[in-house]
A and B are shown apart, each in its own frame.
Chain A
Amino acid sequence: NAGVTQTPKFQVLKTGQSMTLQCAQDMNHEYMSWYRQDPGMGLRLIHYSVGAGITDQGEVPNGYNVSRSTTEDFPLRLLSAAPSQTSVYFCASSYHEGPYEQYFGPGTRLTVT
């Protein structure tokens, strides 16, 4: 199993540009989520999904869109990038039922200038 994969590893955007961060998992996990981590801070939940076709907002959803058309993929879209979205983005997945742990991807480091 590859686990949770994220692409790209690094990205630089100009203010106003849009892009999609990719996340995929091959563990047949129902639950997937996106977090952002700013310097010196813990992770904050952006959006999450409990299964294909179902998404919901987390703590800091503004400026981001998600969709879940398949169990494996959970892309995060930045609609119009802002410098405040400069951060490291982590995708995670887990089984839905039971107290199972979350598996995290390696992260995407995004800089918006």
Chain B
Amino acid sequence: DAKTTQPTSMDCAEGRAANLPCNHSTISGNEYVYWYRQIHSQGPQYIIHGLKNNETNEMASLIITEDRKSSTLILPHATLRDTAVYYCIVRVRHFGNEKLTFGTGTRLTIIP
């Protein structure tokens, strides 16, 4: 699986857009980009995933560069409840071999 690089920590003002970057320069053509978050020692929560097109759901948007070597998770209007550790994971889907490799993630703090 491709290795990912994320900043250790970031701050964002409440109500503003939080933009979390992730580098995955060794990504392969069949590898997906997943984002999860973990709020204060709870179980990780799925946010969004994509292959090469930009994706949006009710929680966030995922922007993947054209060369797929980096991506950005966007929380459009951050709230205090978005304070969490955010994990960017790159994973290929094999039949019979699906598992996630978590790094240390980005600790996002939303400032009131």
A-to-B contact residues, CB < 8 Å: 4, 31, 33, 35, 40-45, 48, 50, 58-59, 88, 90, 92, 94, 96-99, 101-107
Contacts and interface: CB of A to CB of B under 8 A. Distances in A.
19 contacts: A42-B87, A43-B44, A43-B102, A45-B99, A45-B100, A50-B96, A50-B97, A59-B101, A88-B41, A90-B44, A92-B44, A99-B93, A101-B46, A101-B49, A102-B46, A103-B46, A104-B44, A104-B45, A106-B42
Given A41-B104, A42-B87, A98-B93, A107 B41 contact: yes
A42 B49 contact: no
The number of chain B residues touching the other chain, given as a range, is: 20 to 34
Interface of B: 32, 34, 36, 41-46, 49, 51, 87, 93, 95-105
Contacts of A97: 95
Nearest to A4: B43
A48 B44 contact: no
A58 B99 contact: yes
B49 to A, nearest CB: 6
Contacts of B42: 106-107
